[in-house]
Amino acid sequence: MLTRKQHELICFIADRLADTGVSPSFEEMKEALDLKSKSGVHRLISALEERQFIRRLPNRARALEVLRMPERPVAKKPRPAAAIVTPATTPPPQPANDVIEIPLHGRIAAGVPIEALEGAQMLPVPAALLGSGEHYALEVSGDSMVEAGILDGDYALIRRQEDAREGDIVVALIDEHDATLKYYRREGAMIRLDPANRSYDPQRYAPDQVRVQGKLAGLLRRY
């Protein structure tokens, strides 16, 4: 038997998932249940988890799944009589806009190469922007890739890999020190890293100077 607040919360979560495919935020749950703080929401969520009505989806921000709906109705204030709730015959849809957190490893040059910084920050990214494999993010610095639609301040979403095909946009580590985001091409025995800006010249290196660290998988942009 659920408490009135537990019943209200699971119904609110289920309705939001059915309408939008995305779990409500803790702030939205607090306001919907007229609670004074988010700690009350955490306690209700934990209680519903313990009773196996919901579960939290790992590595996804704001992602909840309703496992089952309560079979017995709970009275709502100020009405003394309980409203009839029909048990769900099918589970609610999975969240459509899942968010995954990936490592954010500092800034990368899209102009003159700069040192690639390692950091401990995480960046939330819509799962739809990522494919299979392991990913990380880098903040773009510079304008040499503007003609490819990559602007200063964008977040480049990178799939980790050590190989590249002709024409791929890659993160290239040069002399084990500087990293840059460029088109990858071969020119005879050399590796050529091409910008996407007519104001910049291609960069040419011996193969042992260049190590591919990943391929561009997507972009995030702040407005």
Instruction: Using pLDDT thresholds of 50, 70 and 90, give the confidence band for residue 91.
Output: low
Claim to verify: residue 214 and residue 106 sit in the same structural domain: yes
Domain boundary among 37, 66, 95: 95
Claim to verify: residue 139 and residue 163 sit in the same structural domain: yes
Can you tell me the distance from the alpha carbon of 201 to that of 18, in angstroms, rounded to the nearest whole number?
52
Can you tell me the distance from the alpha carbon of 106 to that of 115, in angstroms, rounded to the nearest whole number?
9
Residue 104, classed as helix, strand or coil, is strand
- The verdict on whether 182 is a catalytic residue reads yes
Q: Please calculate the CA angle 172-174-176 and round it to the nearest 5 degrees.
A: 110
Domain boundary among 34, 60, 95: 95
- The verdict on whether 30 is a catalytic residue reads no
- Per the rule left: phi > 0, alpha: psi between -120 and 50, beta: everything else, 133 is left
Claim to verify: residue 48 and residue 120 sit in the same structural domain: no
C-alpha closest to that of 155 among 131, 129, 174, 176 = 129
Claim to verify: residue 36 and residue 65 sit in the same structural domain: yes
Tally of domains within the chain: 2
Residue 28, classed as helix, strand or coil, is helix
The chain-wide mean pLDDT, for the chain, equals 80
Tally of residues, the chain: 223
Report pLDDT digits (tens) over 146-203.
999 999 999 999 999 999 999 999 999 998 888 899 999 999 999 999 999 999 999 9
Domain boundary among 95, 123, 157: 95
Report pLDDT digits (tens) over 124-145.
888 888 888 899 999 898 899 9
Residue 179, domain extent: 99-220
CATH number of the domain encompassing residue 193 = 2.10.109.10
Structure tokens at 72: 């017995």
Can you tell me the distance from the alpha carbon of 171 to that of 97, in angstroms, rounded to the nearest whole number?
27
Structure tokens at 50: 């313990």
pTM of the predicted structure, to 2 decimals: 0.54
What whole-number percentage of the chain has pLDDT above 70?
80
Claim to verify: residue 171 and residue 85 sit in the same structural domain: no
Claim to verify: residue 120 and residue 62 sit in the same structural domain: no
Claim to verify: residue 134 and residue 207 sit in the same structural domain: yes
Claim to verify: residue 87 and residue 104 sit in the same structural domain: no
Contact 215, 169 (CB under 8 A): yes
Catalytic position from the list 30, 144, 199, 215: 144
Phi, then psi, of 19 in degrees rounded to 5: -80, -45
Claim to verify: residue 140 and residue 51 sit in the same structural domain: no
> Which of 53-57, 77-81, 107-111, 156-160 has the least mean pLDDT?
77-81
Q: How much is the pLDDT for 120?
A: 60
Catalytic position from the list 37, 182, 199, 215: 182
Strand partners, 185: 192
Claim to verify: residue 114 and residue 202 sit in the same structural domain: yes
Claim to verify: residue 104 and residue 142 sit in the same structural domain: yes
Q: How many CB atoms neighbour CB 87 within 10 A?
A: 9
Q: How much is the pLDDT for 10?
A: 84
Report pLDDT digits (tens) over 8-21.
888 888 888 887 77
Claim to verify: residue 105 and residue 80 sit in the same structural domain: no
CATH number of the domain encompassing residue 82 = 1.10.10.10
